[in-house]
Chain A
Amino acid sequence: MQASFAHALLETDLPEVDEHGRFNVYRNNLRITLRNALRTTFPAVEKLVGEDYFSALTLLYVERHPPRSPIMTEYGHDFAAFLSGFSPLSDYPYLADVARLEFARVQAYHAADTHNFRMDSEASAIAALDIRAMLHPSVTVVVSENPALSIWRAQLEPDATPLIPDATETAIIWRQDDLVTEMLAHADDALLLRHFAQSQTFAALISEFPDDPSVATLIARFINLAIAGIIVPTHTPIEGEMK
């Protein structure tokens, strides 16, 4: 009974299940509540394609990729992949990246807490270079062959700087002081973001080229990312040592 009920819920093009059409209330409700959940998570994608299109798009997505978890903030994890593979939207390749960015923002809001590096003196900054560190649990890096971050921002601020069509953008999304934040990655950040995807020390990164002039740039970027709370110590610091 439950299996056929569940099957019928996901099929749209079914004949009437019951004579009063009351089963359709369940079929309809499933789609409406899930569309609303996606609308909450992907407001810029909705703005980009328009309300009607978003409705039609999410209907397809809901039927093909129904939720696997009862936590609705996790729904839509593969919406970006779905958009990439949806041929009618192939003229808008940035849509998937905007979706990735929006999903990352919701995940960042709910991600675990950690401690930040203290960077208020030269001594503490130098010490941090030898401490095992990782990316904050809220961090997502969205590498886009399009100006995805700028396009997303333009949905917020219609008068934003004109977009450069050929730009590629790598965006870092994370939670800073309880606010979800996003910024363009610096050219030298890619190496650091890759390195700290696993628990590592900064020292390990430069052990093979300690005297290279690029080290100074990397140190500056490391300090920037650590102050922003993007790179954080792996272990909870000893009381009084770091905040």
Chain B
Amino acid sequence: MNLSRSAFIAGAVATALVSLSPSAAAAKRPPQEKCFGISLAGHNDCAAGPGTSCAGTSKRDYQGNAWTLVPKGTCLTMPSKTSPTGHGQLSEFKEVRR
């Protein structure tokens, strides 16, 4: 099907183009905070990571266990469908051992 011969199509294209202001096509961009830039730092290194040490033989040594900790970030103020208040809740959960 060659659409270029259809008057209907030509009209639709013309309407679509008119409705586009020069900047309308560009999606609104949020300001780029430094820490949210795309991994410009690069990921691959040949050095030991900062804080590397001889410590860390058990999960306790690594900032706790995700099965027992509770999130403490901004998620506590984000709306959530699953909680009656509309906000995330610090639900008590039992530690699950697999």
Binding site for B on A (CB under 8 A): 12-14, 16, 20-22, 24-25, 27-29, 31-33, 36-37, 40-41, 43-44, 46-57, 59-60, 70-73, 75, 86-95, 105-106, 108-109, 119, 122, 125-127, 129-130, 146-147, 151, 153-157, 163-166, 176, 179-183, 202-204, 207, 210-211, 215-216, 219-220, 223-224, 227-228
Contacts and interface: CB of A to CB of B under 8 A. Distances in A.
19 contacts: A20-B54, A27-B57, A31-B62, A32-B52, A48-B75, A50-B73, A56-B65, A59-B59, A59-B62, A70-B44, A88-B66, A93-B82, A106-B39, A122-B13, A153-B30, A156-B33, A203-B1, A224-B16, A224-B24
Contacts of B79: 147, 163-165
A207 B6 CA distance: 12
A24 B57 CA distance: 7
B71 A92 contact: yes
Given A55-B62, A56-B66, A91-B83, 10 more contacts: A12-B58, A22-B54, A24-B57, A49-B72, A52-B72, A56-B65, A153-B30, A203-B1, A210-B6, A223-B13
A127 B96 CA distance: 59
Interface in B36-52: 36, 38-39, 41, 43-45, 48-52
B36 A40 contact: no
A72 B44 contact: yes
A215 B56 CA distance: 62
Given A216-B12, A227-B20, A92 B62 contact: no
Interface of B: 1-4, 6, 8-17, 19-20, 24-31, 33, 35-36, 38-39, 41, 43-45, 48-59, 62-67, 69-75, 78-83, 86, 88-89, 91, 93, 96
Contacts of B26: 176, 228
Nearest to A17: B57
Contacts of A164: 79
A151 B10 contact: no
A179 B55 CA distance: 41
Given A53-B73, A72-B43, A156 B63 contact: no
A223 B17 contact: yes
Contacts of B4: 126-127, 129-130
Contacts of A165: 79-81, 86
Contacts of A43: 35-36
Contacts of A22: 54
A12 B89 contact: no
Given A25-B53, A40-B39, A207-B1, A49 B73 contact: yes
B20 A223 contact: yes
Going nearest first, the 8 A-B pairs with the smallest beta carbon separation are: A72-B43, A165-B79, A50-B73, A32-B49, A183-B27, A50-B72, A220-B16, A56-B66
Contact of B49 (A33, A53, A60): A33
A176 B13 contact: no
